[in-house]
Chains A and B, each alone.
Chain A
Amino acid sequence: MAHVVLKDLVKTYGSFKAVNDVSLTVNDGEFVALVGPSGCGKTTTLNLVAGLISVTSGDIVIGDRVVNDLDPKDRDIAMVFQNYALYPQKSVYMNLAFPLQMRKLPKDEIDRKVREAARVLDMTQLLERKPRELSGGQQQRVALGRALVRDPAVFLMDEPLSNLDAKLRVQMRSEIKRFHQDLKATIIYVTHDQLEAVTMADRMAVMNGGYLQQYDSPAQVFAHPANMFVASFVGSPAMSLIPLEASTANGGAVLTSAEGWSLALSPRNAQKVARATTRKVVLGARHSTIKLHKSAIADAIPAKAYTVEPTGDVTFVQAFLSGAIVNISVSPNVAIAPDEQIWLEFDQERIHLFDSETEVALEAS
Chain B
Amino acid sequence: MQEDFHYYATYCAAYLSGYSHSESLDICYSAQFVDLCSATYLTGIKAPAQAATTQLQMEMMNTRTDVTGLQNITRIWAPFHFLPRDLYATKDKKRPKKYMNKYRLICGPNGALVKDIVELAKGKPLQSVGIAMHVLADTWAHRNFAGTPSLVINNTDDEFYEFIAGEDGEQKRKIKFQHSLSAPDDLDKSIYTSSLYQRNEKNIMNLGHGRAGHLPDYSFIKYMYLPAWDDYRVMIKDNPSDYRHAFCQMIYAMKFIRGEIDSFETDVYDFAAIKDYEERIDGILRKRQLSASSDWKAFGEDLSGESIEDFDVNKYQKEYVDAPKDEKAGTFYGLFIDGAIAHKGLVCDRIYQSGNKLVGFVQEMKND
Q: Are A and B subunits of one complex?
A: no
